[in-house]
Amino acid sequence: MEATLIVNPAAGRGKGKKAYPAIAENLDKLPLEFNTVFSEGPGHMVELAREASRSGSETVVACGGDGTVHEVINGLDSHPARLGIIPCGTGDDLAINMGIPTDLHLACRNLVSGREKSFDLARAGKEVYACIAGTGFDSMVSRVANEGVRLLRGTSVYIYSVLKTLASFKPLEMTIRADDFLFEGRVMFVVAANAPSYGGGMRIAPMARMDDGLLNLVIIEEMSRGEMLRSFPSVFSGKHFPHPRIRHLTTTRVDFSSTEPLELFADGEFIQPLPASLEILPGALPVIIPRD
């Protein structure tokens, strides 16, 4: 098997750079032919993945976190290569949702001992995503986590970002259309989930599956800051359902719009300003996962 490793040195606030020597040492012991390329900045991994696929790599391995995987799958969009993941990011929710070990040794071994499985993707404008897209409070938290947190690591990044954003947040007017469903009103945020968790383990859509051909739409309607804060801890266990101000439905397509200047984030990365249209792409992403 020929593979290309795309390493993001900046993943996990430098975790990717520190992890690479151990990754290379593990892979050198395996029956795997591979070459390594390093990202030089945001957007570069899209080009690296596209080039690797076009040059004949059967497998393209994303070494980093959810943002790394997001760029790599956009480079592989419509190109014939399967995805491998060696998690070394801040949250690594995508790897966890797919059942890929977060232990570097086991993740490396999985590249040769694992099996291929096709997962769904979702398209939002010109980009695809694998995990969860959100707007409103959710996207504002992502903006803070990406730009305003330097000293924290892991789940604490997201907890801090939630609390900081909530301090000045006001509910937002949104219109949401999905199949025969229409919502018009004030919300805290809304997500279109292809996977159960994001943000370092927040199980916002515990019923979501990455291979069922559906998006799980979760709408958090207007509530007080106090109620939001009281409900927040239950997201980590997925026990925020049922809640009178939280709606859930499944769909294959959804449109978000607002009179306010809102952003759409997916896999923790900025996608576009609203309005936005999203649709599911069943079985669009072949991934190497553990056999058991």
pLDDT digits (tens, 9 = 90+) for 169-214: 899 999 999 988 999 999 999 999 999 999 888 899 999 999 999 9
What is the reported pLDDT for 281? 97
pLDDT digits (tens, 9 = 90+) for 155-168: 677 788 888 888 88
End-to-end CA gap in the chain: 21
Looking at CATH, the fold of the domain delimited by 132-280 is given as Tumour Suppressor Smad4 (2.60.200)
Residue 183 DSSP code: E
pLDDT digits (tens, 9 = 90+) for 104-147: 999 999 999 999 999 999 999 999 999 999 999 888 888 887 77
Is 17:9 a contact under the CB 8 Å cutoff? yes
**C-beta neighbour count of 273 within 10 angstroms:** 14
Q: Which range in 8-12, 48-52, 229-233 is most confidently predicted, on average pLDDT?
A: 48-52
**Does the structure show a pLDDT above 70 at 149?**
no
**Does the structure show a pLDDT above 70 at 263?**
yes
Tokens matching residue 219? 């709408």
Is 121:128 a contact under the CB 8 Å cutoff? yes
pLDDT bin (cut points 50, 70, 90) of residue 278 is very high
More confident residue, 241 or 48: 48
pLDDT bin (cut points 50, 70, 90) of residue 73 is very high
Q: List 281's β-bridge partners, or say none.
A: 121
**Average pLDDT over all residues of the chain:** 92
The class (CATH top level) of 2-113 is alpha beta
Task: Give the 3-state secondary structure of residue 194.
Answer: coil
Query: Which value, to the nearest 10 degrees, does the dihedral of the CA atoms of residues 41, 47, 51, 57 take?
Result: 70
**Does the structure show a pLDDT above 90 at 265?**
yes
- Residue of 87, 93, 74 whose CA lies nearest to 131: 93
Q: Give the integer Cα–Cα distance in Å for 112 and 115.
A: 8
Extents of the domains making up the chain: 2-113, 132-280
